[in-house]
Structure 1
Amino acid sequence: MVVPPDAAAFAVLGPLEEAIAGRQKELHAAKAALSAFTEIYTETRRKEEPPLTLLTGGELINRSLAAAVAACRTELLTAQPGGGRPPHALGEALERDLRLLGRGVRQQTIYQHTVRSHQATMSYIEQITDAGAEVRTLSEVFERMIICDRRVAFIPVSEERSVAALQVRHPALVRLLAQFFDNAWARSIPVHADSPSMRSSPTVTSDVQRAILLAVVSGETDDSIARRLGMSRRSVAEHIRKVSQRLGSSSRAQLGYLLATSGLLDPDGPAQTET
């Protein structure tokens, strides 16, 4: 008896298709079970991770930072003191940041006002803000800080940032660091890299000058002020020289006294000098 091809195909392939469908159901069930186990494992591992980890050496610090930043899913917060950054560091940061922004990660960065006169840093800022990042500046940034998804943070252990860093995972400490960042962000001034007026606005100039003069009153040296504000020692000395001429000061001690009594540092009387 001759059997039509369609009937023969149904007779032969039907059981195979049923078997495949059954195996697919088993596969989906196994995936669902493994997914549940994966979530449990991830949560358990997260709880097992130490709240504080000391990272020593530039290689380990950079590797840990790169892994945490690459794992960012929603938000990256960074505070970058020290003024303008070297071109090689900006190049590495640009590549990383554009990838993050392309994934929809929100990025907020705080620099010091002095980056507004640093061409390489401003070029980098223009590119990342075009891609959706937000950048603001303050006269003084408290310390370098990187916070990923408000779950893990990195802070330096000493002034020599490449020597050692602390990786923070304790929820309370990360929340505290994020609050420091949020408070600084609220006080900072937005940077619009395509707007020349924002590079040296009166507010920015006044903030920098007041920070320098307050440091003079406190007895800081030019070198100390320059390091803290992320600017050159020559720029600090020039600011101080102009104020000294304006007040008729003949010594550093006299300048500190005159600044403290002249009203230049009062909130209602911004300390501004001609540039």
Structure 2
Amino acid sequence: MRSFGPDDRDLLRSDAAKLYEEIVAEGGLQEGDPRMVTERRAFDLLLGLGLISPDHEGGAFHAVDPGAVQSRVVAPLGQEGARLLDESSQWAQTFASLAQVWRRSPDTGRGPFTLVHNEAIDPFIAGMVADCEVEMLTAQPQTGRNRKALAAAAVRDTALLERGMKIRTLYQHSARRHAVTRKYVAAVTELGAEVRTLDEFFNRMIIVDRRIAVIPGREDVRSAMVIREPSIVAYLADIFERTWERARPFTMSQKSSTMSGIAGEQRAMTIRMLIEGHSDPVSAKRLGVSARTYAGYVADLKEEYEADTRFQLGYTMGTLGVSGNEHQESGQEPQDE
């Protein structure tokens, strides 16, 4: 049977449909009717589809019920569509298997380091996470992770947890006040993930199965450095573990004692930023808060030490021996919630 395409469908909706209506209204189309010539394409389409049938005895063409014709045209298209969907799925699975081999092999000419740029970053990370077999470690600074990024991460990480994998994630303390982040944390911790926060830590990082790590690339372009060198991956994992031990568990209960301890750590961090002479934008970024919030922290310190200017604040803290390192020097460990 002849196959029909989009052009035929458009013709059927316009000129051929009009001719079909006329044939139905007139009870047929007589042999030799001028419209068989003037509307030849429409006539041939109706005849080819089987919507009109010749009456060999009377030499006329009569309309045929479209319901009886539809299955002959639509059913093969549906079958072909199902076949193409299955074929595309098979191709996707085949390429996924090859991609997994490519990502895992250390000897594909990529070396221990690969720089991934722009639109290629997210698909690469998605594939890397999909290959996870044991555990994923992530460090996520609060800045730069918007609602869309968190929604994508929630879908990706939920699938990972449902496969029985482990996830441990580090945030800055400021993430506890971010509604979207709290929603994400609630979803993944319910499935077994562990999330902790601390005042400051290293930059964004993902480590999968302690065999491959992704860290930010150059700051002037959107890029990510993929690291497969075992010694460096192990080193990054060790940094993560040491930082993890200092961090506080991020649960939804938010006990007052924990929040008090977090406030103290952020206060100490603000003091260190002031003493070290960092600008407000840099200090705010390292704390994971907005410049306005950071300015509020500084204002609170001025009020606490009865200082009118930052110079007076620095002088007073110096006189009192305040360094911002009192918590670390005391040897206190963060308390679990």
**If the TM-score is normalised by the length of the shorter chain, which range does it land in?**
0.7 to 0.9
CA, structure 1 residues 230+56, in 2 after alignment: closer, same or farther (shift >3 Å)?
same
SS of corresponding position for 1:73: coil
Deviations 1:99-145 (A, max 9, x none): 00001111000000001111111111011000100000010121000
CA, structure 1 residues 114+206, in 2 after alignment: closer, same or farther (shift >3 Å)?
same
Structure 1 residue 239 displacement after superposition: 1.2
- Output aligned runs, 1:149-160, within 5 Å: 149-159=209-219
Q: Which residue in the other structure is 2:192 paired with?
A: 132
CA, structure 1 residues 198+89, in 2 after alignment: closer, same or farther (shift >3 Å)?
farther
Maintained 8 Å contact 1:83/1:229: no
Unmatched 5+ stretches in structure 1: 1-37, 271-275
Higher Cα Rg, which structure: 2
Q: Which residue in the other structure is 2:298 paired with?
A: 240
Maintained 8 Å contact 1:77/1:146: yes
CA, structure 1 residues 179+82, in 2 after alignment: closer, same or farther (shift >3 Å)?
same
TM, length-normalised to structure 1: 0.76
Q: Which residue in the other structure is 2:60 paired with?
A: none
Counterpart of 2:210, as a letter, is R
Q: Which residue in the other structure is 1:251 paired with?
A: 309
Residue 226 in 1 paired to residue 284 in 2? yes
Maintained 8 Å contact 1:84/1:121: no
Maintained 8 Å contact 1:98/1:128: yes
Deviations 1:10-56 (A, max 9, x none): xxxxxxxxxxxxxxxxxxxxxxxxxxxx9xx8899334452001112
Residue 182 in 1 paired to residue 247 in 2? no
Q: Which residue in the other structure is 1:26 paired with?
A: none
Distance 2:164 2:319 in 1: 51
Unmatched 5+ stretches in structure 2: 1-97, 331-337
Residue in structure 1 matching 2:231, options 156, 172, 175: 172
Residue 201 in 1 paired to residue 259 in 2? yes
Moved more, 166-175 or 195-204: 195-204
CA, structure 1 residues 127+257, in 2 after alignment: closer, same or farther (shift >3 Å)?
same
CA, structure 1 residues 245+157, in 2 after alignment: closer, same or farther (shift >3 Å)?
same
Deviations 1:48-94 (A, max 9, x none): 4520011122x111121111111101000000013583211111111
CA, structure 1 residues 87+187, in 2 after alignment: closer, same or farther (shift >3 Å)?
same
Q: Which residue in the other structure is 1:7 paired with?
A: none
Structure 1 residue 235 displacement after superposition: 1.2
Residue 66 in 1 paired to residue 123 in 2? no
* Higher RCO structure, 1 or 2 (CA under 8 Å, sep 6+): 1
Structure 1 residue 98 displacement after superposition: 0.6
Residue 56 in 1 paired to residue 117 in 2? yes
Residue 89 in 1 paired to residue 139 in 2? no
Q: Which residue in the other structure is 1:3 paired with?
A: none
Counterpart of 1:99, as a letter, is A
Report percent identity of matched pairs.
36
Maintained 8 Å contact 1:78/1:109: yes
CA, structure 1 residues 260+83, in 2 after alignment: closer, same or farther (shift >3 Å)?
farther
Structure 1 residue 158 displacement after superposition: 3.2
Maintained 8 Å contact 1:83/1:114: no
CA, structure 1 residues 43+241, in 2 after alignment: closer, same or farther (shift >3 Å)?
closer
Maintained 8 Å contact 1:137/1:190: yes
Distance 1:90 1:183 in 2: 25
Distance 1:204 1:44 in 2: 40
Q: Which residue in the other structure is 1:120 paired with?
A: 180
Maintained 8 Å contact 2:268/2:325: no
| CA RMSD between the two structures | 2.5
- The alignment of Structure 1 onto Structure 2 pairs a total of residues equal to 228
SS of corresponding position for 2:224: strand
Structure 1 residue 257 displacement after superposition: 2.4
Counterpart of 1:229, as a letter, is L
Counterpart of 2:285, as a letter, is R
Maintained 8 Å contact 1:83/1:113: no
Distance 1:227 1:252 in 2: 19
Distance 1:133 1:86 in 2: 20
CA, structure 1 residues 248+61, in 2 after alignment: closer, same or farther (shift >3 Å)?
same
Maintained 8 Å contact 2:103/2:128: no
SS of corresponding position for 1:50: coil
Distance 2:184 2:225 in 1: 27
